Structure 1
Amino acid sequence: MPTQAGEELIDRILAHPGDGDLVGPAANDLLSELYAGFPVENLTRLLHSGDDRILPTATWLLSEIPGMAAPLIGEVPALLASPIRGVRYDAIEVVLENAGERDGPVIAQVIGLSHDPESAVRWKVLEFLTEASIEQLQAGAASLPPGQLKELTEWLILQDGEDPDLPGVVIRLEEGDPVTRMFATAAAASLSSEGDVNLLMHAVMVEEEEIRAFAQERLSELRGDDSA
C-alpha cells in the first residue's frame, strides 16, 4: 500500500540524513508515493526532524507537488526563514503553487525576501513576482506594512490593468534601487510578448546579476532560443 511504502521511505531518509546516495533515491520514490496518494501531512515527520540535513529534502518534496502541499502551508513561514539557502528557495515555490487569498502573511514573507542576501533566492522571488496570480499579489500587499515593498507590490498589480505604466517600468529599471528594479523586471516580463521585448531588453542591462539572468532567460524563451 502507498501509505506503508511512504512511511518506510520516510524512515529511510530519517535514518540516513547525510547519505545522498540513499536519501536521493528515497526522496524520488517518496515523491512518487505522494502522487500515488500518500498523505502529504506525513511529511511533517521530516519537517520536524530537528536535523538541518533533512530539511532541504522535505522542502524540495513540498515544492515538487504543485497544489498538493496546501495542507502544510502553515509550515512554510519557518522554511522561508531558514538559514539554509536551498530551503528558502524551494519554499518560495511552495508558496507560489499552493498559497491562496487567505495566505497573505506568507505571501508577504516571500515578497520580503526580495532583500535576501543570496542572489539565487532573489532570483526566485523575481520569478514569484512574475508568475504569482493577481489574487496572490493582492493578498500579499494587504499583509505588508506601509513602505517600499507594499507600494511596489501595489504598483505591480496595477500593471495587469488595461493601461500599464510602460514609461514607469523603464524609469524604474534605469533609475531605481535594486529592489525597485526587481519589481520593474517582473512587470517587464509580464508585459512582454512575441515581437515586443523592449522592456526586457532594458532589464538585461541592469547591474544585478539575478535580474540580468532572469531577463535573459525570459528573452530566450520569447525568441524560442533552445540554447537558453
Structure 2
Amino acid sequence: MVGPMQPQAGEDLIERILAHPADGDVVGPAANDLLSELYAGYPVENLTRLLHSGDDQLVPTATWLLSELGELAEPLIDEVPPLLSSPVRSVRYDAIGVVLDNADERHGPIIAQVMNLSRDPESGVRWKVLEFLAEASIEQLRAGASSLPPGQIKELAEWLILQDDEEPDAAGIVIRLEAGDPVTRLFAAAAAASLSDGENTSLLEHAALVEEEEIRSFAQERLSESD
C-alpha cells in the first residue's frame, strides 16, 4: 500500500526539472508527477523556483503546471503579468487560462492585459483570448475594462459587458461580426458564445462564417457542443 505523498517528492521533482531543462524525456514525466504532487498538497508557491530559475526553457513548463491547477494556482496570480508578455506563444496561451481561473475584481490590470492580447500576432493566443472573453464572469470583465486606457479595446470590453443585460444587442453582434475589424469580430464572437444556448445558436452560426480562423474554429467547437 502506497502512503501519502511526501513533500520531499515534490522537492526532488523540481530539482530534477531544474537539472535537465532541455531534456523533454526527463522534464515531461517529471512535470506530470509534479502536477500530481501539487494536487496532493505540495505548495504551489514552490513553482516560483522554476519561474525565476533564469532558464527560459523552464518557464513554459511552470506556466503549463499553473494552467493545469485551476484555482489552486491563485497564490501565484501576481506572477502572471510577465507570462502574458512572454515571447513564447505557449506561455502566453497557458497564462490566459490561469487568469480565467483565478483573477477577480482585484486583478483588473491583469485582466486588461489579457484583453489586449486580442491583438496578439498568434492565432492560437487570440483563440484563448476569445475563450476568456466568452467564459469570464461579469465581475472579471468589469475589472478588466476599468483598467484599460481609452481606446478600441476598452470600448469593445464595455460593449461586451452590456450584452449581459436583459436585452442584449443581437443585431449589433451580427453587424460587428460581418463588418468589424478582426478585434471587433473577436469581441462580437465572445458575445455570440455567451448568449447562445442549445436552442438558439444563430449568433454562433454567424461567427462560424467569419474570416479569422480562430473565431471560426471557436464558434464551430461551441456549435458542436450544442448538438
TM-score range, shorter chain: over 0.9
Match of 2:11 in 1: 7
Matched, 1:172 2:172: no
> Residue 2 of structure 1: CA displacement?
3.0
Q: Deviations over 1:180-214 (max 9, x none)?
A: 00000000011111121110111111110100010
AA aligned to 1:192 is S
Match of 1:222 in 2: 226
Q: How many residues align?
A: 223
Q: What SS is found at the alignment partner of 1:140?
A: helix
| Percent sequence identity over aligned pairs | 76
- The TM-score with structure 1 as length reference comes to 0.96
Whether contact under 8 Å (1:2, 1:36) holds in the other structure is no
- The structure 1 residue matched to 2:121, chosen from 112, 117, 121, is 117
Inter-partner Cα distance in structure 1 for 2:220 and 2:13 = 40
Inter-partner Cα distance in structure 1 for 2:17 and 2:120 = 29
User: Structure 1 stretches of 5 or more lacking a match?
Assistant: 224-228
Inter-partner Cα distance in structure 2 for 1:165 and 1:111 = 21
Matched, 1:26 2:30: yes
Runs in 1 of length 4+ with deviation above 3 angstroms? none
Superposition CA RMSD, Å:
0.7
Matched, 1:84 2:91: no
Match of 2:55 in 1: 51
- The TM-score with structure 2 as length reference comes to 0.97
> Residue 42 of structure 1: CA displacement?
0.4
Whether contact under 8 Å (1:66, 1:97) holds in the other structure is yes
Q: What SS is found at the alignment partner of 1:121?
A: helix
User: Structure 2 stretches of 5 or more lacking a match?
Assistant: none
Match of 1:226 in 2: none
- The structure 1 residue matched to 2:65, chosen from 50, 61, 66, is 61
Inter-partner Cα distance in structure 2 for 1:68 and 1:170 = 38
Inter-partner Cα distance in structure 2 for 1:99 and 1:61 = 17
Match of 2:209 in 1: 205
Inter-partner Cα distance in structure 1 for 2:20 and 2:192 = 45
Match of 2:146 in 1: 142
Inter-partner Cα distance in structure 1 for 2:164 and 2:203 = 15
Q: What SS is found at the alignment partner of 1:126?
A: helix
> Residue 46 of structure 1: CA displacement?
0.2
